[in-house]
Each structure stands twice: as C-alpha cells, then as structure tokens.
Amino acid sequence: MYTEVIPSEQSLIGGGEMGTLIRGMDWSQTSVGPISAWPQSLRIAVQLILDTSFGMYLVWGPDQIQFYNDSFRPILGSSKHPSALGGCAKDTFSEIWDWLGPKFEGVMRGEAFSAEDLLVPLNRNGYLEDCYFTFSYSPFRDETGQIRGILVPVTETTQTVRARKRTEESQQQLHSLFEQAPMAICILRGPTFVVEMANPPMRQIWRRPTGELLGRPLFDVLTETANEGHEEMLSDVMTTGKSVTVADLPFTMLENGQLKTLYGSAAYQPLREPDGTIDRVMCVVTETTNAVQARHKLEESEVHFRHLADLVPQILWTARPDGFIDYYNQQWYTYTGFEKGYGDQSWIPILHPDDVQPCLDTYYHAIRTGQLYQIEYRFADRRNPGTYRWFLGRATPVRDASGTIIRWFGTCTDIDDQKRLSELLETRVAERTQELKTANHNLERSNFDLMQFASVASHDLKEPLRKIQAFGNILSSTVDGKLNDTELDYFHRMINASNRMQGLVDDVLNLSKLSNQALFCAETDINAVISRITDDLEMVIREKSARVTVSSLPLLEANTGQIHQLFQNLISNALKFSRGPSPAVTIGAKPVSPADAIRFSIYPDQYACIDVQDNGIGFDDAYREKIFGIFQRLHGIKFGGTGIGLAICKKIVENHRGFIYADGHPNEGATFTILLPFKQH
C-alpha cells in the first residue's frame, strides 16, 4: 500500500556545507520547484549525494539542473561555484559542452558512460586548464522507471596524472640519457643476470645486436666470457650489496668470428628495491683496449729506451712535469757510485758548492716556464777525490698534441777536457792579443816615424827642386838654337823629371798630412762634391769625349775636403787609364750586400755603398790588393802618375772608418767599391 510522504526541507539532512546551501536555496526559482514539491526520487538522489564522501554530481530534468556535494565542490574551482548549484549544466560547462552535451543526451537515453583519467579542459579559476577525471555517467530513474537525471560519481586525478606524466617524462629522459651516454651502461636483473637495459656503447663492447641481448641471461649470450670471473664478481655485488670498481679488466669477445681479448674499466653498482632487497646491478664500463695496448707498447718502448740509454756514454735522465727526476741511465750510477734505483736523488752532494744554487735556480726556472734548461756545473770526481769535472747540463720539455708538458728529457755531458782546453786557448789568445797589441803599437810608432820622415824629407826636397825648375825655365828660353837635337832632348827630359819629382813630393806630403791631421766631419752631399770635381775636370772630359754618369748619392757625415780628394783621384784615374775614344765613368749607390756585411763585420743599414765604375784598361785580379800600396804603378810610365793616388784613397776611407776594394779584368774596366758609415760617432 503506497503511503504519501509530505515533502519538507527538513527531509534533507546532513551534507556539510553543500547540504546547508541546498536547504537554504530558493528552488522555486528553478524548474525543479521548491523542495517541498520535489518528487521522492529527486529527494532520494540528493540525499544520496549528500551522504556520500565520494565526489558526487547530479543533473536533473530537461533543464539539467545541477546538484553536488562537498567532495565535488573543489572540482568547480572559484569560477563555477556556487553559481553551478541549481544552475544549468550547459551554462556551467560551456567550454566543453560540444563534447559533454552529446554524452548527457546518450545517458538520458539509457547509455551509461565511464572514463578513467580523462583529460577535460575546464575554465574553473579564470583560465583554461587541463584537468583529469575518473568518473561514470549513470541514468537515474524515478518511481515510474523513467530516466529523470544523471548521477555522476567522480574523482579528480589531475595531480596523479601529472605526477605520472612527470615520472614518465623523467623515465623517458633517463632512458634517452641512458641511450646517449658516451660510456657503456647496462642493467642486469636476477641471479641469472638477465639483460634489462643495454645502451649502444655497451652493445658495441659486447659486439652483439639488441635483439640477441634484451630479456636474456647475459652469460647465455656471451658464452666466450665463461670462466673469466665476471659472473662471480656480479654475484658478489648482488649478494653483499657492495659496489665494485675494477680497472683495465681483460675480457674475451667474439668479433668477426674470432676471439679477441679486450680491456675495460668497470663499476658495478647494486640497485635496491623499495623493500631494500637487491635484484638488479648497474654496470658502467669504459673500454680501454686502445689505451692498454698503447701502454703495453709504451712499456715495451720504455724497455728498449732504457737498454739504448745504458749504451750511451752520456748521463741521461727523465723527469715528471713537476721536475721530479724518475729515471737515470747506467752512466749516472757508474759516475756517482749511488745505489741503483729510481727516484729524485739529490745532486747537491756531488755538485761543487759554488754551483749548487745557480744549478737549482736555473732548473726550477725552466720547470716553471717550460723553457729549455742549459747550464755548466761541476760534479765531484770520485775517481780523483777532492777534484771536480765540468759537465754541460741540458733538458728539453716533451709536449703532447695540446702543448702540455708531459715529461722532461735531460742529459749531463762531460765537457771537462773541452773546458780546460778552452781555458788554455783563452789564455793563449789573451797572450797573443797582448803580443799583437804591442806589435801594433810598435808598428804605429814606425809608421808615425816614417810619415814624419816623409814629411821632413819632402819639405827638404822641395827647395832644391824649386831651384832646378826655376833655372831650367830660365835656360829653356835661351837654349833654342844653341843645343843640337840630342842635347835638347836631354834638357827636356831633365825638366820633365823635375816636374814628376815635384808631383811625387806633393803626393807624399798629402799622404803624410792624411795620417797626422785630425778628422773634422760635417754633413756632406756627395752629389755636390762630384759636381765640383766634374767642373774642375771639364777640359779633360771634353778632350777625351768622356761621359760621367752620376745617380743619386747619399748624405754622409764626413770630411768634405778628403771626400773631394777621394773621388777626384778615382775619377781622374778612370779618365787617365781609359781605352778607346769614349771613356765612360758611372758613379752610383747601392745597398750593402750580405757578403760585404759579413766580410767587414758591419751593419748594412749603417753604411753607404758607392761604386765608381769605368770601361778603361782594367787590371788583373791578382793585383786587386796590391794597387792600394804606396808607389804601386801597374802600367809603368805609359800613363804617368806617382803611384800614390790609390794609397791616398785608401787612407781617406780608413780615416772615415770605411772600406774600399776593387774588382777588374784586363781591357774590361774596373769597379771601385767604397763603404762609408752614415755617421762618424
């Protein structure tokens, strides 16, 4: 029998905050009407969601009026609550209604729907955010069995999903790092060491593709490594929980059908489960095959080096980059008598006391700066107690491809015999130098005396020469018609001889003046000097149809008068010793040649080089030094002259701290090269 229940707001009880809001709301303003008019099915549904601690949401009637409990309220955020209570679902969830509306329509037709961790974009706090929910949409029927609403139990899983995504991303990043890691890494699981993960470098070391490894016991695949102790080492790590590190561990691998011994440095790390148990081991391996093989070759090379070093008569040693000496060859122990062994044996006990500090300072300066080390020092001679022998110490740094010093290589060479011979030679040289100085001083005195004699003699000769010339000139005007031809020839020969004698006396006087007078220098324009000379020789040049060519010449600090005499003598000689109808004289400047710089030990940029070249009779190369001697006449009396002109030229050049030399060939002309400093300081 159906008993009618009188509706009342008080029939809805409990429900926390949302129960209070539902009871206090004026539902008459909605399509469901006041609570007192609600059908029993709606009151039961509302009471159900209020009594449930699980998030519950109810949509009722064709207008889809919304009800929800305290557990559901946070899902609505600050933007949708409390307006969602009693409101239309389409208005509340407008941002997803294109998806949600058809779902609700299906449920109202009796088609239930559920989802787990479904992404639902909601604008619940003033902005659109990705939210995740696990829920089910179930049709809710009234007393007549008609579907009047949709009951939705729901749990927000946003934080759980985000955390899971972060975990998955971290795992993906970890896997990516694992795969891209330059060192070989693998994870082995269980007592049979099943390969759980193995990155490409590890697969390369194992010389196996991925398909042969993953999910299979490691040593079932790498059968060639049996009995090498690897399985026992991994078992100890898993049993004891202690990590193990090994360097340059040998292992056998099958490569291209052949077994090869490889080397690797490995770290085995136990991985604990949440309960503390160990079921997995992570292995990190760096293949060191090349390095080990290179070290073996280096060790072999080191042995060969030491055998060879012991055969060398010198003392050889090597040191670390910090200067610590770690090797000596046999000669060191033979000479010093020290006990054989490696180590930085101090040199102080065998060094001469005066050489200790300079030797140490020089050595450690080289170590700090990387510069070559070289010094001479004395070692005690144990064969002759109380004496020392001189050694030359040298060391050079050995650098790698980047320029970093990786070792020092040094030698100690016994130079005692050479040192004593050198000291003896230095003594002999000093003695010989003093002898030369004394001889040079005596020669200078002799030259001075000779010049004084020449000066006095020349002055004494001038007076009788003047009388001979004067009386000869008087007689020449009276002898015409009184002497026969032979007597007249004799008379003219006498006059010419006196004139030549006068020229010789003048030249001797000029030479003696050059040796005694002080040199007063000023800036001299060589072009201007030669221009004046060609003006003075204008008549001779015209008579011989000669051509004098002068290029640009430098300014020099020189005695202008002596420079005038130098070039006048050279140009006059070129005109005098000419051949053919058109003598040519060329005067020009050029750089000092490297050969002349070495020959005369001068700096090329401090000297001017001037050539005076002619196309005259030349001379034999054998006389290139002789022609500068006093009274030297290569061509007899045919061309006249006193034989002093070139001696004067050489004296003028030497007065200016310069050099002069000549090159020539018979009938091909001659070239006189003059080297004069720009400055006389």
Helix, strand, coil: what percent of the chain each, to 5?
45, 25, 30
pLDDT at 352 over 70: yes
Q: Dump pLDDT digits (tens) for 511-559.
A: 555 555 556 888 999 999 999 998 888 888 888 888 999 998 999 999 8
398: closest CA among 321, 285, 327? Answer: 321
Question: How far is residue 675's CA from residue 659's CA, in Å, rounded to a whole number?
Answer: 5
pLDDT at 434 over 50: yes
pLDDT at 639 over 50: no
Confidence at residue 5, expressed as pLDDT on a 0 to 100 scale: 38
pLDDT at 461 over 60: no
What is the average pLDDT value for the chain, to the nearest integer?
Answer: 84
The residue-averaged pLDDT of 282-307 equals: 80
- Residue 78 structure tokens: 């600050």
> Which domains does the chain carry?
9-160 (3.30.450.20), 181-293 (3.30.450.20), 315-320+330-414 (3.30.450.20), 419-517 (1.10.287), 518-677 (3.30.565.10)
Confidence at residue 457, expressed as pLDDT on a 0 to 100 scale: 53
pLDDT at 88 over 90: yes
Q: Given pLDDT bands bounded at 50, 70 and 90, which one contains residue 452? A: low
The residue-averaged pLDDT of 414-422 equals: 87
Name the 3-class secondary structure at 275.
coil
Q: Given pLDDT bands bounded at 50, 70 and 90, which one contains residue 637? A: very low
Helix (H) / strand (E) containing 124 = none
- Give yes or no for a contact between 86 and 66, defined as CB atoms under 8 angstroms apart: yes
Strand order in the sheet with 388-399: 325-328, 315-319, 405-414, 388-399, 373-380
Question: How far is residue 664's CA from residue 651's CA, in Å, rounded to a whole number?
Answer: 21
Residues 525, 528, 529: CA angle, nearest 5 degrees: 85
DSSP state of 391: E
Confidence at residue 222, expressed as pLDDT on a 0 to 100 scale: 86
Confidence at residue 425, expressed as pLDDT on a 0 to 100 scale: 73
Q: Dump pLDDT digits (tens) for 419-432.
A: 888 788 778 777 87
- Give yes or no for a contact between 341 and 312, defined as CB atoms under 8 angstroms apart: no
Q: Given pLDDT bands bounded at 50, 70 and 90, which one contains residue 332? A: confident
Tally of helices (H runs) and strands (E runs) in the chain: 19, 22
- Residue 629 structure tokens: 């001697």
Query: What is the model's pTM?
Result: 0.39
Which range among 97-106, 414-423, 587-596, 601-610 shows the weakest confidence by mean pLDDT? 414-423
136-167 in b/e burial notation, b at 16+ Cβ within 10 A? ebebbebeeeeebbbbbbbbbbbeebeeeeee
pLDDT at 470 over 80: no
The residue-averaged pLDDT of 637-652 equals: 69
Confidence at residue 33, expressed as pLDDT on a 0 to 100 scale: 94
Question: How far is residue 630's CA from residue 515's CA, in Å, rounded to a whole number?
Answer: 13
- Residue 390 structure tokens: 């001189």
Place of tokens 């000093």: 430
Question: How far is residue 169's CA from residue 163's CA, in Å, rounded to a whole number?
Answer: 10
Q: Given pLDDT bands bounded at 50, 70 and 90, which one contains residue 336? A: confident
Residues 350, 355, 357: CA angle, nearest 5 degrees: 105
pLDDT at 642 over 70: no
Q: Given pLDDT bands bounded at 50, 70 and 90, which one contains residue 2? A: very low
224: closest CA among 251, 195, 256? Answer: 251
Q: Dump pLDDT digits (tens) for 206-247.
A: 888 878 888 899 888 888 887 888 889 999 999 998 999 998
Long-range contacts for 636-644 (Cβ within 8 Å, ≥24 apart)? 639/576, 639/577, 640/500, 640/576, 641/576, 642/500, 642/503, 642/504, 642/507, 644/504, 644/507, 644/508, 644/510, 644/511
C-alpha dihedral sign at 438, 444, 448, 453: positive
E-strand stretches of 79-173: 113-123, 128-141, 147-156
Which range among 81-95, 382-396, 485-499, 588-602 shows the weakest confidence by mean pLDDT? 485-499
- Give yes or no for a contact between 361 and 351, defined as CB atoms under 8 angstroms apart: no
Helix (H) / strand (E) containing 325 = strand 325-328
Task: Report the share of the chain in percent with pLDDT over 90.
Answer: 41
- Give yes or no for a contact between 646 and 632, defined as CB atoms under 8 angstroms apart: yes
Confidence at residue 56, expressed as pLDDT on a 0 to 100 scale: 96
Q: Dump pLDDT digits (tens) for 595-617.
A: 998 889 889 899 999 999 998 88
- Residue 223 CB-density burial (10 A; 0-12 exposed, 13-18 middle, 19+ buried): exposed
Confidence at residue 1, expressed as pLDDT on a 0 to 100 scale: 28
Cis peptide leading into 581, omega within 30 of 0? Answer: no
674: closest CA among 656, 664, 666? Answer: 656
pLDDT at 390 over 70: yes
More confident site: 485 or 664: 664
